[in-house]
Structure 1
């Protein structure tokens, strides 16, 4: 893996320079946000949380008897400490959650992931280390995992539970209590290597993942067996490598999208601020990697776009054509995730955020794109079709009637016919990612449920929502409401009992 060379090559977390100071405007960000929050209660989705949580949900409707298990969720929970506030939504310390469904009842528990960073800063009563979008640097650090917030995804795998982050190791949690066990090293020579928050688990249990250091022009690749042992690992060179948040796997390929960012060498800026949108220089690139050799098969040019999330991919024509579904954004969304931390709403422009299908012809190099749904994000497929041909894609969207960007509509899209089965939450609600959960022995991709969480800012409560995946437009079959608000999470996975 050439681990030492890989880490030193990047301009990412491990290579950030120390300024010795905190950002002077961290306090100003705190003041601006709280002034905006006093006027706009919908901003509670970006508010700080203190302490752990545990409670029972009140169920409206009926939880299907077959739906048994735990919906694990993760996202940033602590944005403020010592009168300072982070500048970027992605900076907050990880807050792991478990929504347990048992016999028609729903219980909830949430705990902060006790990373090295979280414990050090809690003891100090102030932020100490650089974050993705905030250049606070009061204390030196050893490696990527000194900065690990474990705040992006919660993955049950091989009878264990992992809190995942972009720039460092997985953090193992106790699946029953969410207590932090500690950093998990997949193999000794992979210690502290970036391990993305979006691994893909194929139906046979094989896990694929990557790790990136923006500016380092190298991408680490991993294949891990269902038993948790590393089967394959390597590094590929990707010029002008920038933010890599997600990818897709097909039977034969790994598919990445490299957005058109330049990476500034100004070490007085945060890593987020060092990403400079360079659409006037070049477009995006799709990089297709062969799974058997972990080498690049082909690179495709696209217009200047960025992507946070992929849905799925599959191969056809003997592996010479790959179809991939993802959400493309026209413009720099990294800055938008910074502005919300000061309480600024982003204008709603659904046409700039579209779920698409991209067809990649590896023989001819031709690319074609089909638009699926405007204003979309957080695409997911049924777990049994990961890497295989799929016909349904679950995702959120922002209703065109919204003046500001907020995800308030859940959809299951028939990607072959271009039809969306949709339901919109009431005003003042914010939807989180929803996932497809199959019935045991499911015969189709809609034979199951669409399960997610929504924030009701009218009452400052969080609600687990359950839809029949075949009849989303009929509305939720059950809503399980907590008597309190939980942090707005990014990603998670359902583990059936």
Structure 2
């Protein structure tokens, strides 16, 4: 009705920002295994000021949450990633940028300035802790203090939030999208950083259209880039319509090339409209590239191109097969699991290789929301799925696997997750036996306040 105050759902509940930077020693219940030593780093959006214009969850300032585990004890620290955007707005005492740098909602003083938020993923590679997002270079953080160190300049432009680290070579393989002289370009970059941290390759090629390419596929010898119809458009944004929107009448395309090949050798495979934020893993088998991905029938969280609300959809695990030796460019799609879920993870020692065990955040109730209230383990060899359902109202982050040792069998280790306790409006750090999640956590470390819903995290061993 007239005069109604509409609250952005991404600024309320456990999406709402926590603006304090704190250090806590956490109260432990159960047992945190003595063999689990290191730090779980997590990141997510946490706007330091009330946003301008129509705020989207993906656009908030990055905040790092670190859970340091040692001798059965857990300490917590959180800090903002002090990007140039954060610094500029902090000095002004207010938000200056629109979501995704939208010029229609950006203060004139910030037009053309760096709008990076470093809020999507945080990875360790070549001795550096890197905070990542879709549209800017990696931003380095000091691992113990979480002090901000700045952009890693050798990347020279937009990079991905989801690089892949080759377990055999130590290389970090990455990409960037939206490359071009204007925002929402159709260019894609393919990049490689060697095990020592030197950028040794960056090549560009053109996609059929501008797409939000959140993640990609890497195997031992191949790389594949999904161009799916969650499209970006500067013209649309300048006309007051969504900068990113679902266009279900467009086909899906995936560019496949050898990692040691030239971008001119790319082969485009295709499928009807669909969307994927996150694959679980990909590998090669018998002349085929195979990928297990969480697939949506339409992109969630985004409107249609005309500004109308998008579909309420959920993702399920499916298998994509690309016949590299065949004549067909169609992607074969087969269902694997019938449970709604997101944020898939696996034993990263098998990245790009055939694997057996996967874990993900799940929604057994089929609510078709990004809020997940269970943790699932799937044995891809037997097809057996086990599930730990949280108490009613509680929600989990992405579960992260940590091996018991460098030479432990696949899946032998622990699973860590951060859970929001809705009734108490605070969060817990949970540790599971990775191959028996159904029995529940073996150790819990309690926070005195909540950790807002975020995106991704990774474990860095001591």
Normalised to the residue count of structure 2, the TM-score between the two structures is 0.90
Instruction: Tell me the distance in 2 between the aligned counterparts of 1:404 and 1:322.
Output: 30
Is 2:212 the counterpart of 1:247? Answer: no
Is 2:190 the counterpart of 1:216? Answer: no
How is 1:254-293 mapped onto 2 (pairs within 5 angstroms)? Answer: 254-266=223-235, 268-269=237-238, 273-280=242-249, 282-293=250-261
* Contact 1:211–1:219 (8 Å) recurs in 2: yes
Q: Please report how far the alpha carbon of residue 168 of structure 1 lies from its aligned counterpart in structure 2 after TM superposition.
A: 0.7
Structure 2 partner of 1:96 = 64
Instruction: Tell me the distance in 1 between the aligned counterparts of 2:135 and 2:300.
Output: 19
Q: Please report how far the alpha carbon of residue 268 of structure 1 lies from its aligned counterpart in structure 2 after TM superposition.
A: 4.4
Instruction: Tell me the distance in 1 between the aligned counterparts of 2:68 and 2:93.
Output: 33
Q: Please report how far the alpha carbon of residue 142 of structure 1 lies from its aligned counterpart in structure 2 after TM superposition.
A: 7.5
- Matched position secondary structure for 2:344: strand
1:476 to 426, 438, 441: 441
Q: Please report how far the alpha carbon of residue 48 of structure 1 lies from its aligned counterpart in structure 2 after TM superposition.
A: 2.1
Is 2:414 the counterpart of 1:449? Answer: yes
Distance change (3 Å), C-alpha of 1:271 and 1:235? farther
Is 2:153 the counterpart of 1:153? Answer: no
Q: Please report how far the alpha carbon of residue 141 of structure 1 lies from its aligned counterpart in structure 2 after TM superposition.
A: 4.9
1:138 to 79, 84, 107: 107
- The RMSD of aligned alpha carbons is 2.7
Q: Please report how far the alpha carbon of residue 166 of structure 1 lies from its aligned counterpart in structure 2 after TM superposition.
A: 0.7
Structure 2 partner of 1:400 = 365
* Contact 1:310–1:326 (8 Å) recurs in 2: yes
* Contact 2:300–2:311 (8 Å) recurs in 1: no
Instruction: Count residues in correspondence.
Output: 446
Distance change (3 Å), C-alpha of 1:261 and 1:494? closer
Q: Please report how far the alpha carbon of residue 427 of structure 1 lies from its aligned counterpart in structure 2 after TM superposition.
A: 1.1
Distance change (3 Å), C-alpha of 1:462 and 1:123? same
Is 2:358 the counterpart of 1:358? Answer: no
Q: Please report how far the alpha carbon of residue 260 of structure 1 lies from its aligned counterpart in structure 2 after TM superposition.
A: 1.9
- Matched position secondary structure for 2:87: helix
Structure 1 partner of 2:333 = 369
Structure 1 partner of 2:6 = 32
* Contact 2:229–2:247 (8 Å) recurs in 1: yes
Q: Please report how far the alpha carbon of residue 276 of structure 1 lies from its aligned counterpart in structure 2 after TM superposition.
A: 3.5
2:293 to 313, 319, 326: 326
Distance change (3 Å), C-alpha of 1:93 and 1:463? same
Structure 1 partner of 2:16 = 47
Kindly report structure 1 stretches of 4+ aligned residues shifted beyond 6 Å: none
Instruction: Tell me the distance in 1 between the aligned counterparts of 2:358 and 2:205.
Output: 30
1:230 to 199, 209, 217: 199
Distance change (3 Å), C-alpha of 1:262 and 1:142? closer
Distance change (3 Å), C-alpha of 1:401 and 1:273? closer
- Matched position secondary structure for 2:395: strand
Distance change (3 Å), C-alpha of 1:398 and 1:370? same
Instruction: Tell me the distance in 2 between the aligned counterparts of 1:225 and 1:262.
Output: 32
Structure 1 partner of 2:165 = 201
Q: Please report how far the alpha carbon of residue 304 of structure 1 lies from its aligned counterpart in structure 2 after TM superposition.
A: 0.9
Segment drifting more, 229-238 vs 467-476: 229-238
Distance change (3 Å), C-alpha of 1:49 and 1:121? same
Instruction: Tell me the distance in 1 between the aligned counterparts of 2:151 and 2:234.
Output: 30
Instruction: Tell me the distance in 2 between the aligned counterparts of 1:446 and 1:234.
Output: 35
Q: Deviations over 1:33-64 (max 9, x none)?
A: 28x79xxxx95211122221211211111011
- Matched position secondary structure for 1:132: helix
Gaps of 5+ in 2: none
* Contact 1:65–1:104 (8 Å) recurs in 2: yes
Q: Please report how far the alpha carbon of residue 220 of structure 1 lies from its aligned counterpart in structure 2 after TM superposition.
A: 0.6
Q: Deviations over 1:298-320 (max 9, x none)?
A: 22211210111111111122xx2
Q: Please report how far the alpha carbon of residue 441 of structure 1 lies from its aligned counterpart in structure 2 after TM superposition.
A: 3.9
Structure 2 partner of 1:314 = 283
Distance change (3 Å), C-alpha of 1:121 and 1:450? same
| Higher share of residues assigned helix | 1
Distance change (3 Å), C-alpha of 1:61 and 1:377? same
Q: Please report how far the alpha carbon of residue 219 of structure 1 lies from its aligned counterpart in structure 2 after TM superposition.
A: 0.5
Q: Deviations over 1:328-355 (max 9, x none)?
A: 1111314279xxxxxx9996x5xx4111
Q: Please report how far the alpha carbon of residue 275 of structure 1 lies from its aligned counterpart in structure 2 after TM superposition.
A: 2.9
Between 1 and 2, higher relative CO (CA 8 Å, sep ≥ 6) is seen in 1
Q: Please report how far the alpha carbon of residue 425 of structure 1 lies from its aligned counterpart in structure 2 after TM superposition.
A: 0.8
* Contact 1:259–1:283 (8 Å) recurs in 2: yes
* Contact 1:51–1:112 (8 Å) recurs in 2: no
Q: Deviations over 1:381-416 (max 9, x none)?
A: 112101111111111111226485521111121123
Distance change (3 Å), C-alpha of 1:353 and 1:147? same
Distance change (3 Å), C-alpha of 1:263 and 1:405? closer
Q: Please report how far the alpha carbon of residue 445 of structure 1 lies from its aligned counterpart in structure 2 after TM superposition.
A: 2.0
Distance change (3 Å), C-alpha of 1:426 and 1:43? farther
